[in-house]
């Protein structure tokens, strides 16, 4: 059991990659703290974990609310905190940079960057004081590639990767590791929304798949396995890394 007796906090865990990660961590023995703005979905994930014999609890959390994030992390840390997985994120409708208004830009940055910042800001004092722990931030292919008509999203995910590197350099001497997972397109509701915005969603999906050497898109469970690796002691000498999980797209 790779996470036995460890407590893992996961944001955006009510669906998609977050849900798959919560379930995988529980399977590996972790006490999983499921957080999300979606209370109904988050509680359903907790029930599924408990029904499978795992241990989990739900906390409603809007990652853009720094005070709320600190309150949740502080409450969890009273009983021990080992891993923080900053998974919550958002995108924006495809559009040229000049077509993305400031309100949308700021919303994307607030969720994807400030949300990760707040989680790390809340967790690091606990992790550093105990002398061990891991942070896994979920980036994107957009962390390493500039995606056309996704300027705000690319900016936000690039910031996540570089922020993680800075945290790794700062927190490493305290025994705390920080890494980023950079997934390619994954079969989630975020992808569904992206495709629905296209003129012909089915053709857009086919064209997207053709760009991947494996000729398919990722399943959430495949990204969850990569996150699990970075959260566990199997990656004990991996720090400040951006792990690309994209089926060869960036190759």
Tokens matching residue 234 = 């199997």
pLDDT per position as a tens digit, 180-190: 999 999 988 87
Q: Which CATH number fits domain 7-183+219-243: 1.10.150.120, 2.60.40.10, 3.20.20.70, 3.40.50.720?
A: 3.40.50.720
What is the reported pLDDT for 56? Answer: 98
**Residues of the chain scoring pLDDT < 50:** none
Residue 128, Cβ density class (10 Å: 0-12 exposed, 13-18 middle, ≥19 buried): middle
Active site residues per annotation:
153
Would you say the pTM of this structure is higher than 0.85?
yes
Per-residue confidence (pLDDT) for residue 149, from 0 to 100: 87
Q: Where are the domains of the chain?
A: 7-183+219-243, 187-217
Residue 194: predicted pLDDT: 79
Alpha-helical (H) ranges within 135-249 are 151-171, 189-196, 201-210, 220-231
Contact status, residue 182 vs residue 245, Cβ threshold 8 Å? yes
At 85, is the secondary structure helix, strand, or coil?
A: strand
């Amino acid at each position: 059991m790779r996470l036995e007796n460890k407590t893992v906090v996961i944001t955006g865990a009510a669906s998609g990659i977050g849900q798959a990660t919560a379930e995988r961590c529980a399977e590996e023995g972790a006490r999983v703290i499921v957080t999300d703005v979606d209370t109904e979905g988050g509680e359903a994930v907790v029930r599924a974990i408990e029904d499978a014999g795992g241990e989990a609890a739900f906390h409603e959390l809007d990652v853009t609310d720094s005070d709320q994030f600190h309150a949740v992390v502080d409450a969890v840390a009273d009983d021990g905190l080992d891993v923080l997985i900053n998974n919550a994120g958002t995108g924006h409708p495809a559009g040229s940079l000049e077509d993305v208004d400031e309100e949308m830009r700021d919303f994307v940055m607030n969720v994807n960057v400030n949300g990760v910042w707040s989680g790390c800001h809340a967790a690091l004092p606990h992790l550093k004081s105990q002398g061990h722990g891991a942070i896994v931030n979920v980036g994107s292919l957009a962390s390493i590639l500039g995606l056309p008509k996704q300027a705000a999203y690319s900016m936000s995910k690039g910031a996540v990767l570089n922020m993680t590197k800075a945290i790794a350099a700062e927190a490493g001497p305290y025994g705390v590791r920080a890494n980023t997972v950079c997934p390619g397109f994954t079969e989630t509701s975020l992808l569904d929304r992206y495709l629905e915005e296209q003129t012909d969603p089915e053709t857009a999906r086919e064209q997207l798949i053709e760009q991947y050497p494996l000729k398919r898109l990722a399943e959430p469970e495949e990204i969850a396995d990569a996150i699990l690796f970075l959260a566990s002691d199997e990656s004990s000498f991996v720090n400040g890394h951006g792990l690309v999980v994209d089926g060869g797209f960036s190759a």
